[in-house]
Amino acid sequence: MADKAGWTEEKVRVGEAELQVIKGGTGKPLLVLHCELGNPGWLEWHSALAQKRTLWIPLHPGFGKSPMADWIMDMRDLAIFYSRFIREQRLTPAEVIGFSLGGWLAAEMAVANAQQFSKMILVGAMGVRPPAGEIMDMFTVTARTYLNRNVVDQQGSEFRKLFGGEQTPEQFEAWEDARAESARVAWKPYMFNQGMSHLLENIAGLPTLLLWGKQDAVVPLSSAEVYHKKIAGSKLVTFDQCGHMPEVEKTADFVKEVLSFLG
């Protein structure tokens, strides 16, 4: 895993709510929006990108050390909340990378106001209804089973370091808290916005990179094709023999694409 040296954690007020924010690296800020199971920990890609960018990793309300904000009832509420956060932290226009649920969150923010971002990267983003296949329902299986479906190779070195071995009580509690909050904001309909495929056409002039595993068993590749078609000028890059976590399974290729896009 990545070295934590030089990384800090701090609490940031956003109105009446509070966010736990992890920061580290050097250079321009890069907003990182984590997935539906929370921030996964310190990974190789964090270290690689931190050589060129200062990563801002807020833990969504109700995830990890960020207290729940009971007025945030859906993804639109969460998107507006984060718009306030990046404005008050003077990050706008921000570079943003969102993973899975975090990708949907970034897309919701861009739909409302694309000018708050300078560049956007969506990795296996939820948010649109797949025209072929469906988004995997993580509530029909255990959190561990769901995580295992996120990758093609469960024996891959970094995935095994993160999630191999016996599940700890701390992991179980964190995953269940994350699943509860994900259900609260993204349950009906499950993990997509019915109108998103139409709303995406409102994103104009925002350089957008879409990164997807060809064997993604969580969010079908057909969702990527919708994002690609609807966001004018977007670029879609796919990784073979790769599931829902290209940042873990294809780290070198993932980092190369991200850094090339960010410039």
Tokens of 3: 């070295």
Task: Provide the pLDDT confidence category of residue 79 given band limits of 50, 70 and 90.
Answer: very high
Render pLDDT for 123-171 as a digit per residue (tens, 0 to 9): 999 999 999 999 999 999 999 999 999 999 998 878 988 888 788 888 8
- The pLDDT, as a whole number, for residue 5 is 57
pLDDT 10s digits, 211-245: 999 999 999 999 999 999 999 999 999 999 999 99
Q: 160-210, pLDDT tens digit by residue? A: 888 887 888 888 899 999 999 999 999 889 999 999 999 999 999 999 999
Give the Cα separation of 73 and 95 in Å (integer). 26
Beta strands in the chain (DSSP E): 8-14, 17-25, 28-33, 53-59, 94-99, 117-123, 208-213, 235-239
- Per residue in 39-58, pLDDT (tens digit) is 988 899 999 999 999 999 99
Domains defined along the chain, listed by start: 8-262 (3.40.50.1820)
DSSP string of 32-90?
A: EE-BTTB-----HHHHHHTTTEEEEEEEPTTSTTSPP-TT--SHHHHHHHHHHHHHHTT
Residue 92 pLDDT > 50: yes
Supply the pLDDT for residue 252. 97
Average pLDDT of the chain is 94
Q: What average pLDDT does range 57-78 have in this prediction? A: 96
At 123, list the tokens. 């990795």
pLDDT of residue 4: 57
Alpha-carbon distance 22 to 56, whole Å?
6
Q: How far is CA 233 from CA 78, 139, 193, 205, 225, in A?
A: 26, 35, 22, 8, 13
User: Are 179 and 145 contacting, i.e. CB atoms less than 8 angstroms apart?
Assistant: no
Tokens found for residue 61: 């309300």
> What would the mean pLDDT of 32-38 be, rounded to a whole number?
97
Q: Is the pTM of this model over 0.85?
A: yes
Q: What is the mean pLDDT of residues 245-252?
A: 96
